[in-house]
Structure 1
């Protein structure tokens, strides 16, 4: 189930470092249960927590410190199998960590922290670059439709808020993150229409284009994202509406659609009664194939062919 509001606040607005492994395990559990934040935000938070542990670990040798951090990093990478940024950014951090020369642990700690911060900065810079390209592609006065809550899409709307754009937002069940997005856009002065997920096909024709984020980009260009994304892409194709995916390249992995793991969460989140003989399912993600995607908007440019998409170099597999 979703962590409490206090847990979410504690996750992203910490006032004290993680001082023990038991506390770190609690943080890993919170990340695993977090349904409030986007994939890239979770990856950046994972790096921040690893940096905190690098500072507070009782390890007295370089080897012991790196071994402990690698063990924790492996746990972070396993918590959300449908979300590539945690795997790739943390994996990249581990790969670079292994290249540090043996030295006194007191001088190694700040270097490890700086490396984590560098990767966090690169992630945030990628989001900013994608938002600029998305805003330029969408253009002034457009109506844009989206599904779920992507930090990259939010950043794009922020740049568009003074350009007369309108927004069509799906509620995005079961946790209704679309409602939170609609509220934010309305506060920015963007004319916003909030609809149930079932109305996607009715409203997509009113949009100039659809822009969604991605939790993972698969090898063939398929996109793992919030369940309902595939239905929206199909509706957009049926009505000849462009369907864009705004995603950082570090969300790409070498797995194929048949190898992808789609997370399934507690059916209680659906807030429905289950009479005898009925099974409730709550699969969080679906897979949208590349033939339904008009273009991929990345920090390295806009790609209209999945075969041209770059991989994130040196991600630890």
Structure 2
């Protein structure tokens, strides 16, 4: 039985449509740890985890990272008894927290291998993974152009955080893509999911920016850790409606595109915690690891 305090926290996670998956994951791990302590048995806890995964699919169908992390916890808990549950959850959480740091380390390795002493970068929206990578390679970055990512304008927050870390930052409206991408060395983006054929799910605007960047011969880079990989080639149609927000304004129907699929053919590199993957722009490019090995905790 879920306590009142935990139920309130779960409802807050389900109802939060603004925070990214990484931020919600921190709250989710805290809930799981408290439930592991409160649960009377391992069987009771595993039943809750199964229900939690179903609820996350219903309330956050596009935040695959949350669903993956809950599944990793479930698989890890199949070993051991109740006394080991809390330790197991914390192991999954530790790997998740360390993964973004490893992505940042590999981003710096990529800059070194490609002889980039100083680079100018374009990015969009607000990605904790991108922020960490840029911070890690701060002395190698001359300036950062951040697209606002309307209609929610998450790029505004990204720009503020970069300014706080003393980067030279330009906040750009989304229509400035051609102008900006003609000036920068590379485009760096986070993602909400990486599918097994290399396509990624991310905030609307990513596809346009990557297309223009490729036309101008610029490097296009997607950053993502193990929890972003999804073992399917394409997103099902039932999720498409989650990519749009439809409303009305003064009698006019409005359509806001929030998420979109970016084809692998526009992505040059995938920098992950497991390594740097190079896409040679071949159709049907398979990039996914053996999932049982990639998601192993030990």
Match of 1:10?
none
Q: 8 Å contact 2:73–2:89 — kept in the other structure?
A: yes
Change (3 A) 1:167 1:43: same
Once residues 231 and 152 of structure 2 are traced to their aligned partners in structure 1, the CA distance between those partners, rounded to angstroms, is 30
2:230 is paired with a residue of what secondary structure? coil
Q: 8 Å contact 1:140–1:160 — kept in the other structure?
A: no
Change (3 A) 1:222 1:86: same
Once residues 35 and 63 of structure 1 are traced to their aligned partners in structure 2, the CA distance between those partners, rounded to angstroms, is 31
Once residues 179 and 264 of structure 1 are traced to their aligned partners in structure 2, the CA distance between those partners, rounded to angstroms, is 21
Match of 1:313 among 275, 281, 292: 292
Once residues 62 and 313 of structure 1 are traced to their aligned partners in structure 2, the CA distance between those partners, rounded to angstroms, is 23
Match of 1:16?
none
Q: 8 Å contact 1:40–1:123 — kept in the other structure?
A: no
1:281 is paired with a residue of what secondary structure? strand
Superposition pairs for residues 193-208 of structure 1, below 5 Å? 193-208=170-185
Match of 1:100?
80
Once residues 286 and 230 of structure 1 are traced to their aligned partners in structure 2, the CA distance between those partners, rounded to angstroms, is 7
Q: TM-score, normalised by structure 2?
A: 0.86
Measure how far apart 1:284 and its partner are. 1.9
Q: 8 Å contact 1:77–1:91 — kept in the other structure?
A: no
Match of 2:69?
89
Match of 1:119?
92
Bigger fraction of residues in strand: 2
Q: 8 Å contact 2:146–2:172 — kept in the other structure?
A: yes
Q: 8 Å contact 2:36–2:85 — kept in the other structure?
A: yes
Q: 8 Å contact 2:130–2:223 — kept in the other structure?
A: yes
Match of 1:47?
29
Measure how far apart 1:137 and its partner are. 2.5
Superposition pairs for residues 1-317 of structure 1, below 5 Å? 20-57=2-39, 59=40, 61-101=41-81, 108=82, 111-138=84-111, 139-259=116-236, 261-262=239-240, 263-264=242-243, 267=246, 274-276=249-251, 278-305=252-279, 306-313=285-292
1:282 is paired with a residue of what secondary structure? strand
Measure how far apart 1:310 and its partner are. 1.5
Q: 8 Å contact 2:119–2:142 — kept in the other structure?
A: yes
Aligned residues: 284
Q: TM-score, normalised by structure 1?
A: 0.81
Q: 8 Å contact 2:196–2:288 — kept in the other structure?
A: no
Change (3 A) 1:312 1:27: farther
Match of 2:282?
none
2:255 is paired with a residue of what secondary structure? coil
Match of 1:104?
none
Measure how far apart 1:122 and its partner are. 0.7
Q: 8 Å contact 1:218–1:252 — kept in the other structure?
A: yes
Change (3 A) 1:257 1:30: same
Measure how far apart 1:311 and its partner are. 4.8
Measure how far apart 1:265 and its partner are. 6.2
Measure how far apart 1:266 and its partner are. 5.1
Q: 8 Å contact 2:191–2:222 — kept in the other structure?
A: yes
Q: Could you tell me which runs of 5 or more consecutive residues in structure 1 were left unpaired when the two chains were aligned.
A: 1-18, 102-107
Once residues 129 and 248 of structure 1 are traced to their aligned partners in structure 2, the CA distance between those partners, rounded to angstroms, is 8
